[in-house]
Structures are given as C-alpha cells and as structure tokens.
Amino acid sequence: MKVPSFSNAIRSEWGVVAVSVIVSMSVALGITLLLTPTYESRAEMTVFVSGGATTGETYQGSLFSQQRVAAYSGLVTSDVILSKALADLALELSPSQLADKVTTSIARDPDRFDVVVTDGSPELARDIANTVALQLTAVVSELEAPEGGGVSSVGVKIIKKAEADHAPIHPNTAEYLAIGAAVGLLIGTAVVIVRRRIRGR
C-alpha cells in the first residue's frame, strides 16, 4: 500500500484505530489494577569524620569517610541490623525475608548513601527504613567507640528521615497506558490495512 493510500485509509477508518487504542489502554489499566503496588521509602545517611583542621587532614578525613560509606552501607542488610529492626517493629519476618525489602543506594555525594526499602505498604516501608537507619547509627557507634571510652570521631547519622510515599514505583500506570496506546495503535492500523486488502480483492 502506497503512502498516500495508507494515509487515506487511516483517516477514513480512524474510528477503528481509536477503538483499538481505547480497548488496549483499558486492558493496560486493568492490568495495573490487578497488580499489587510496591512502594519505596528512603532514609538519607551521611558518614562524618570530626577534626580535620588543616587542608591535608580535611582531605584525609574525606577519603576515609568515602571508604566508610562502603563499609557502613554493607552493614544495612546484615543479620545484626535487621534482627534489631525486626524486634523494634515487632514484625513476624526473618532477617532474610526483611533483607529482600532492604537495599542501599550510594548518593552522588561520596559521603552519603540511602537506606532504601520497598513494601506493599508505604507506611511500613517508611517505618522499616527509619528503624534500620536508626539501628545502623547505633551499631556503628558501638563499633567505632574508642577503646578507652569517649565519643568516636567517626560514625554515620541520619540527615533525612524516610517518609511515606503513596505513589507506587510499580506498576507505573502512565507507562502501562503508554504501552497500551502504542499496542492499540499498531493493532488498529493492522486491522485497517487487512480490511483494505480484503476489500480490494
């Protein structure tokens, strides 16, 4: 089919294409309603190193804190942290089950990272993220405590508590609708072409 005749066919039977797009988008919307939504919540953390009066000391402190980011973020999914969080939240989950909900994300700032939690409840995702973050600060404080006592010069702290985000990260309704519209457009166009060829016989 030549381009002009193809364009004319689409214009003359635009209703077929429109119905196809609407039906496909309706199916896509139905799929999103059937899927269990997943919500995400983040607690922002930062590693601190006190001291650093000179430029050299400041640089060394920054380098040290960057190295600690990898170590501390790795503790987030440890049994020690997760067991304490489960006890605080009174959740009937095992540490391994909770670990499936918890990850970390390194921020652009090399001294920072996020405790990221996904769950079917935005409130629970928030509570888990904040509790894990709080337990992490406590455990790190114990690990970094000077042998002779006193306050540690290095540690991790919460700079922004997690909040309940009621916009699910999955399913992405807008994305599903866009895919549905594209599929509907292709199906509608194909139907128009087939009908034209059948009539031309």
pLDDT in tens, 68-105: 888 898 899 999 999 999 999 999 999 999 999 999 99
Same domain, 28 and 47: no
On whether residue 131 sits in a domain, the answer given is yes
Beta bridge partners of residue 116, listed in sequence order: 42, 103
51 and 29 fall within a common domain:
no
Is residue 163 pLDDT above 90, yes or no?
A: yes
> Can you give the pLDDT at residue 10?
64
Our CA angle for 159, 161, 164, nearest 5°, is 150
Same domain (yes/no): 100, 177: no
Is 192 part of a structural domain of the chain?
A: yes
> What integer pLDDT is reported at residue 48 of this predicted model?
83
> Does any domain span residue 67?
yes
Residue 165 lies in a domain: no
> Per-residue pLDDT for 166 more than 90?
yes
Helix (H, G, I), strand (E, B) or coil at 38: strand
Question: Number of structural domains, the chain?
Answer: 2
Q: Are residues 59 and 139 in the same domain?
A: yes
CA distance 115 to 111: 14
Beginning with the edge strand found earlier in the chain, give each strand of the sheet holding 112-119 in spatial order.
Answer: 102-106, 112-119, 39-49, 154-160
Q: Which two tokens stand for residue 40?
A: 């995400």
CB 115 within 8 A of CB 137: no
Helix, coil or strand: residue 111: coil
User: Domain span at residue 109?
Assistant: 39-160
Give the per-residue pLDDT at 38. Answer: 94
Q: What is the CATH number of the domain that holds 126?
A: 3.30.70.1130
141 and 62 in a common domain: yes
pLDDT at 62: 60
109 and 143 share one domain: yes
Residue 171: the pLDDT is: 84
* CA 144/CA 62 separation, integer angstroms: 17
Q: Is residue 166 part of a domain?
A: no
Q: Cβ neighbours of residue 2 under 8 Å, at least 6 residues apart? A: none
8 Å CB contact between 155 and 137:
yes
Is the domain of 131 the same as that of 53?
yes
Domain check: are 78 and 155 in the same one? yes
**Do 187 and 136 share a structural domain?**
no
* 19-31 tens-digit pLDDT: 888 999 899 888 8
156 and 141 assigned to the same domain = yes
Give the integer Cα–Cα distance in Å for 177 and 185: 12
Pair 43, 28 in one domain: no
Over residues 99-140, the pLDDT tens digits come to: 999 999 987 787 899 999 999 999 999 999 999 999 999 999
Provide φ and ψ at 42, rounded to 5°: -130, 135
In a shared domain, residues 46 and 140: yes
Instruction: Band the pLDDT of 56: cuts 50, 70, 90.
Output: very low
